[in-house]
Amino acid sequence: MSDQKQTNKKQQQKKKSTGGSNVPENLKGMTKEERRQYYQKLHGQKGKPQNKKQSKQQKKPKQQQNTGGSNVPENLKGMTKEERRQYYQKLREQQNPKQQNKKQSKQQKKPKQQQNTGGSNVPEHLKGMTKEERRQYYQKMREQQNPKQQQNSGGSNVPENLKGMTKGERRKYYQKLREISGEGQESVIQNKKKTQKKQAQKPKKMTKEERKKYYEQLNKQKQQQKKTWNRNYQQGTQKEQKSQNDNQKQTKHTTEMEIQKNQTKPKKTQQLSDPRVRTLTSITSHISSFKRPTTKELGVEFSESVIHPLTIELSLKFSSGRIGGTTGRCIALLNLFKILIMEVTVRARFSEDVVKMLNHNIEYLIKHRQFSYTMFSVIRTVKEWVSRVDSLEIKDAKNKMCSQIDEFLRKHIYDAEEEITEIAWKKIKPGDVILVYANSRVIEKILQKAHENKIPFRVIVVDSRPMNEGKKLLKKLDNYGIKCTFCELNAISYIIKEVTKVFIGVAVILSNGSAVGRIGTAIVAMIAKSSRVPVIVCCPSFKLSKKVQLDSLVSNEHGDPQKVLTTKNSKSVKIQNLPSDMDVVCLLWDVTPINFISLVITEYGLLPPTSMQVLIREFKDF
């Protein structure tokens, strides 16, 4: 073991002495310290630096000073950079000495120009001056030209004879004039009064006792004002009650039959005198009330030939409800326009005479029943067509107007309804139970088309008073052979459990996605939404409107209130016999919000209710 340790020590000593493969052979037997001393002696003999870094730093600047790189010519390699730069400057001066002199002259002239010239706008005789010197020069020139105007002119409002005076001199001048005319004394008196008022208005310093008295007087005045207000309010209410009683006495009928009826009647209840109570009639007072046309109202002077007899007939049909629904009324109105345009007599200009005649007839129709949004849009389009036909002859213009109206009826009503039916009947699947509310032309065609394709389904017709339009639809579907069940609106929450889909026809679809339909559609849609039944609205594109309506009280229509009071089983009550504090409200339309509608079907396809605004902007061409 000792022999092995000695051999290992010898090998380690050899490694220390050799120094590796990079050490030259003549130094392999030396240690590091011996080699270092050897190299120091060699460097000391040759006069070289001990460190390599110092030697490199000393050698490099010599090369840079002398050689200058490969681009330097041979005759300049021994020079430094500064010597070469001076050499090149001398050569340039010898070749073109004028260019270098220009640069020196510019550098010397620029600061002087900035101080003296002031730019190109300064005149030549002032270029040598500074800004302050020029400003002082211009001031002296102005003072020489008009020295008194700046002090005494007073502006353009001063007369010419007083322009040379100061303000004080002008004031004295005007005072003398007033004294001469006699107005000076009055003005002095008025000025004194003004000063006295100002002094009186100034608040005086008050003591604590004076302030207490002041506040006590204010409190007394307030209490007196409250008492007077209460008295006036009581007197006003008493006057209102007296006036109401007087009106009731005056409205009693004078005939003997009515006097006997009034004796048998119960006593009328007193009206509410409190003005803070708001009734439903005050909320709906802005809506036009229903007026049944009488023979006196229908009396028209036909000698003027302004209102056509067909308009009178149409107004009776609109008001009585024989022509109901927006599509039916639009079709009847457009057919009336065709007759009016063909029979108009042109005196001055075609467009003016036609528009006048249309306006008179439209006003007469609106008196008896209010128009819907779609009817107003149709009237607007017809008037636009009339304004574009002035260049043609009268016969050609009439024929063109009638052809445009026929095309509108065909494209936007008849063809649109057929396209909607072809899209919508495919949504009805075998075994479906479909709920329908009131009466609609489009929904009738959809159900008929589905029955013709032999799809087994059942229909639930929901109806409500006072219009009872669902009974008309029920008779038509029964004639087609469709299985139907009839239900009133108050039982819809019980029957909605069987329903799979709800189809609704509406009068107008607004730009915010909500729909205006027969009153009760909002209740149907709300109950269907709560029970997770899809609500599908079928509507052609001509019923789209740019308007927005958040509730049914913004714009609506009153129906005949007598229909609310009449029933078949019980005796009908006349409105005249009602108590004085009872009012009958019969609204015809309501608004179903966008949240209750799941799908809208138009002639352009199936669309969500949120895209109605895009459809109005892109595809509505009238």
pLDDT digits over 169-212, tens only?
A: 888 888 877 777 655 555 556 666 666 665 555 556 678 788 88
Name the band, by pLDDT with cuts 50, 70 and 90, for residue 272.
Answer: very low
What value does the mean pLDDT of the chain take? 78
Residue with tokens 């308009």: 311
Cα-based angle 379, 384, 390 (whole degrees, multiple of 5): 130
pLDDT greater than 60 at residue 298:
no
Residue 222 pLDDT grade (very low, low, confident, very high; cuts 50, 70, 90): confident
* Full strand arrangement of the beta sheet holding 599-602: 484-488, 458-463, 433-437, 501-505, 535-538, 599-602, 605-607
Helix or strand run (H / E) with residue 606: strand 605-607
Question: Does residue 478 surpass a pLDDT of 90?
Answer: yes
- Hey, what are 539's tokens? 């509507």
Q: What is the pLDDT of residue 163?
A: 76
Give dist(CA 488, CA 435) in Å, integer: 12
Q: Would you place residue 263 in the very low, low, confident or very high pLDDT band (cuts 50, 70, 90)?
A: very low
Q: Band of the pLDDT at 342, cuts 50, 70, 90?
A: very high
Task: State the pLDDT at residue 113.
Answer: 43
Rounded-to-integer distance, Cα 329 and Cα 337, Å? 12
Question: Mean of the pLDDT values across residues 555-579?
Answer: 71
Angle at 524 between CA 520 and CA 530, to 5 degrees: 145
State the sign of the Cα–Cα–Cα–Cα dihedral 281, 285, 290, 291: positive
368 or 193, greater pLDDT: 368
Three-state secondary structure call for residue 362: helix
User: Are the C-beta atoms of 30 and 38 separated by less than 8 Å?
Assistant: yes
Minimum mean pLDDT range among 48-57, 149-158, 474-483, 592-601: 48-57
Which of the two residues, 478 and 620, has the higher pLDDT score?
478
59-73, 254-268, 508-522: least confidently modelled range = 254-268
43 pLDDT band, cuts 50/70/90, is confident
Strands 508-509 and 515-518: antiparallel
**Cβ atoms of residues 357 and 340 within 8 Å:** yes
pLDDT above 60 (res 128): yes
How far apart, in whole angstroms, are the C-alpha atoms of residue 531 and residue 551? Answer: 23
- Rounded to a whole number, what is the distance in angstroms from the first to the last CA of the chain? 117
Confidence class for position 3, pLDDT limits 50, 70, 90? low
Position 114 pLDDT exceeds 80: no
Contact 600, 509 (CB under 8 A): yes
Over range 109-132, report the average pLDDT. 67
Q: Please determine, for residue 310, whether its predicted confidence score (pLDDT) is greater than 80.
A: yes
Evaluate if residue 352 carries a pLDDT over 80: yes
C-beta neighbour count of 101 within 10 angstroms: 11
pLDDT at position 606 over 90: yes
Q: In what order do the strands lie in the sheet with 589-592?
A: 508-509, 515-518, 589-592
Residue 580: predicted pLDDT: 64
pLDDT(33) > 60: yes
Q: Does 424 have pLDDT greater than 90?
A: yes
Q: What pLDDT digit, counting tens, does each position of 491-534 carry?
A: 999 999 999 999 999 999 999 999 999 999 999 999 999 999 99
Q: pLDDT digit string (tens) for 237-250?
A: 666 666 666 655 55
Q: What is the pLDDT of residue 327?
A: 92
CB 555 within 8 A of CB 549: yes
What is the spatial distance between Cα 388 and Cα 396, in angstroms, rounded to a whole number? Answer: 12
- Per-residue pLDDT at 253: 44
Residues linked to residue 600 through DSSP beta bridges, in sequence order: 537, 607
Question: With bands split at pLDDT 50, 70 and 90, how would you rate the model's confidence at 325?
Answer: confident
pLDDT value at 314 more than 70: yes
Mean pLDDT of 67-82: 77
Amino acid identity of 499? V
> Is 277's pLDDT higher than 50?
no
Give the model's pLDDT for residue 407. 95
Residue 224 tokens read as 């007196």
Q: Is 523 left (phi over 0), alpha (psi -120 to 50) or beta?
A: alpha
Q: What integer pLDDT is reported at residue 185 of this predicted model?
A: 56
The residue with tokens 């958040």 is: 550
Please name the residue ranges forming H helices in 117-255.
131-145, 149-152, 167-181, 183-201, 208-250
Q: Is this prediction's pTM over 0.85?
A: no
How many residues are listed for the chain in this entry?
622
Pairing of strands 605-607, 501-505: unpaired
Q: What are the tokens at 157?
A: 């409002």
